Structure 1
């Protein structure tokens, strides 16, 4: 088995620091905000701000890198991320936190894209799959560790804001001291909605609805746990086990989706998620054990939906269209992520904690209805014409550079060159 390039190790370390800080940042804000008496609507706007910033980062950071280079751009991203988290500690008010969270989303997207661009450049075709897998595992472990570290202290103290700032700063060191040549410019994202819709209408509708559901849960899950009386350690576990379950569940779900119509698999997974929604809404579990078990099943479903949809869309995409299809779906997912926390936060303000799962249930039911309709309108792709399912990190939105790291892009590039 070929060894990984030594030049990838500093990048893995930098990514781990970045994701650890992101895990702390993403959980401490809703916990502290809830403790300060912020409304559910205001806390939902934190997720909306993050998603807007993240999407803008994917669109604008490639141009910044082209002007000033990878190292300077990465330094700017981490510096602004530190400002955003420390600014949230100094000014404890939704009017400040929401735009600062948008800044964090922008910087997080930009920093991640720069690291991923370097990894992609340093990975030969024979090890790209391993690099992609290790990168995903590093991110998953780092985000989970960042969330779980909050169990070690008082969430109302400034400690965890400072810890997040420290690790954002530490993320800069591996790239600042990186001596290898800088990689090629970042991949730019362009949205060709007409072609995406023509290739796979269900993928377009599904990624928007999944963005609504997943972002609502990712932003307000901790608020839900706090409002039903869970302890801080239980809330951290509530969010972490859902992510871990989502990572594990992609293996069997991906295998099954490679063997049958992916739309049927999608409907089955979404239906189980909808049952979990109903459990949270109608049974209103209070014990930590019941909530953790339900959140594990819920996370296993919601975090496996997106890669199934991406795989289905690429089954229908023209040859050499993988990168453009996946990048376009990424932006649509981001658009759904903007609306999810906003809507769920507003509903929670009126009906209480269960409002979170009322919104996720609505998204899931709409997705089931439309998926069933599409199954009746179009035959499945023949097995010999389909691509393979590829696991994706459930910890955050992907970036265009994450997609570019996918081994299928290397194959796409080779086919394009051979055709010329």
Structure 2
């Protein structure tokens, strides 16, 4: 494992620095807007614009990398992100900020595609699983460290923005100085929503709900914490506790997911998540330590839902179409992450702060009602089911990283070819 870290250290370090800056700035922006008495709808919109940029920018990033090369495309993305961050410190127009957040998402997805394509190209088949796992660990670690780094800036001035911009610039260094050869860029597979929705609807519902919750938590979680009377640094720790707990919980949750019925595990986890949110419905004002405990419980239950849902989907998809499955999963998750902050922000603005965890409980209730083991027919069960649980980062990923998933065999994948229904129609 240490040998793998050393071999790809430049790529891992670039990922870590990107996500430290992103994690810090996402939370800082929520706190900054809250301190300025900006509507929760606007706070949610800022996060939604960022996620929309991540989802919409994959095709653009692919074209940029092909035309200009990996290092140049990565450098351009880092420069755009840095300039956008510093521009937000100079201007206080919310519409401009919304456009800049979209631009940041568009630029960062290109950076992630560069790193992931490099990992894909130069990781040997026998170590792809460990390379993938390490990439996810560094991604999650970056988000956690970003929250803790914000604690160093208890005052909401321009220092956190400068720190985030520094991270965006410094992530250029490992890529610019890497001695690795440029990889070949993979062609994105076409997305066939109808085919995958017909086979794994409950899995995709789990991914969509997880996107709603994750986007809402990163965007409105700090706002909720401040409204509960926490200081700005305590609000950052509130978010960090949930993210860190979710990262640690993926191991035990994976152990359970490989031994229990996955539809049942999703349902039970969702029921517990529903109950975790109930104490924060506004019944009572909880102390700081209790809020941290609930944040940890939220992270333990919510963040592993994504990889469990993906594993559940892989159980019921032909191994030869799993690259296409990864593409539709990322699209569905990104759509949820866009809508989650908008819905939660509108509820908090229109009804009250307590509706944030009401929204969490409502989303969990949807999964409790919809995901049922009895509805799993087994008609499309894969030959290698149950597939291996793989820890996955919900925060950043592009379709390029699908080839690193140890459940995927890119050499035999036929996701780009017509599905049976399309082939029959063409005939």
Deviation at 1:153, TM superposition (A): 2.1
Structure 1 residues 123-202: aligned runs within 5 Å:
123-202=123-202
For 1:239 and 1:331, the matched residues in 2 are separated by: 25
Q: TM-score, normalised by structure 2?
A: 0.91
Change (3 A) 1:375 1:187: farther
Q: TM-score, normalised by structure 1?
A: 0.93
**Could you list the per-position Cα deviations for residues 356-380 of structure 1 after superposition, in whole angstroms to 9, with x for gaps in the alignment?**
12222222111211113x6336259
Structure 1 residues 28-67: aligned runs within 5 Å:
28-67=28-67
Which residue matches 2:349?
Answer: 349
For 1:104 and 1:283, the matched residues in 2 are separated by: 39
Change (3 A) 1:191 1:384: closer
Deviation at 1:403, TM superposition (A): 2.4
Instruction: Could you tell me which runs of 5 or more consecutive residues in structure 1 were left unpaired when the two chains were aligned.
Output: none
1:224 aligns with 2:220: no
Change (3 A) 1:303 1:2: closer
**Could you list the per-position Cα deviations for residues 146-186 of structure 1 after superposition, in whole angstroms to 9, with x for gaps in the alignment?**
21111112342101101111110111111122232211114
> How many residues are matched?
413
Change (3 A) 1:187 1:170: farther
For 1:149 and 1:155, the matched residues in 2 are separated by: 13
For 1:416 and 1:156, the matched residues in 2 are separated by: 49
1:95 aligns with 2:95: yes
Which residue matches 1:272?
Answer: 272
Superposed CA RMSD? 2.1
Alignment counterpart, residue 410 of structure 2, candidates 407, 413, 416: 413
For 2:346 and 2:164, the matched residues in 1 are separated by: 28
Which residue matches 1:400?
Answer: 399
For 1:327 and 1:375, the matched residues in 2 are separated by: 27
Which residue matches 2:254?
Answer: 254
Which residue matches 1:113?
Answer: 113
Larger mean Cα displacement after TM superposition, 306-315 or 224-233: 224-233
**Could you list the per-position Cα deviations for residues 262-297 of structure 1 after superposition, in whole angstroms to 9, with x for gaps in the alignment?**
100000111111111222114344311000000101
Change (3 A) 1:405 1:155: farther
Deviation at 1:203, TM superposition (A): 1.6
Structure 1 residues 327-366: aligned runs within 5 Å:
327-366=327-366
Deviation at 1:72, TM superposition (A): 0.9
Which residue matches 2:238?
Answer: 238
For 2:350 and 2:335, the matched residues in 1 are separated by: 24
Contact map agreement 2:199 2:317 (CA 8 A) in 1: yes
Which residue matches 2:375?
Answer: 376
Structure 1 residues 14-29: aligned runs within 5 Å:
14-29=14-29
Which residue matches 1:318?
Answer: 318
For 1:264 and 1:5, the matched residues in 2 are separated by: 36
**Could you list the per-position Cα deviations for residues 160-217 of structure 1 after superposition, in whole angstroms to 9, with x for gaps in the alignment?**
1011111101111111222322111145253211111122111222222221122111
Change (3 A) 1:151 1:403: same
Deviation at 1:7, TM superposition (A): 4.7
For 1:397 and 1:116, the matched residues in 2 are separated by: 11
Deviation at 1:382, TM superposition (A): 8.4
Contact map agreement 1:11 1:175 (CA 8 A) in 2: yes
**Could you list the per-position Cα deviations for residues 237-274 of structure 1 after superposition, in whole angstroms to 9, with x for gaps in the alignment?**
11111111111222222221212221000001111111
Change (3 A) 1:402 1:382: closer
Change (3 A) 1:248 1:53: same
For 2:382 and 2:174, the matched residues in 1 are separated by: 46
For 2:128 and 2:324, the matched residues in 1 are separated by: 19
For 2:281 and 2:191, the matched residues in 1 are separated by: 36
Larger mean Cα displacement after TM superposition, 377-386 or 341-350: 377-386
SS of corresponding position for 2:8: helix
Which residue matches 2:419?
Answer: none
For 2:6 and 2:103, the matched residues in 1 are separated by: 33
Change (3 A) 1:130 1:33: same
For 1:75 and 1:59, the matched residues in 2 are separated by: 18
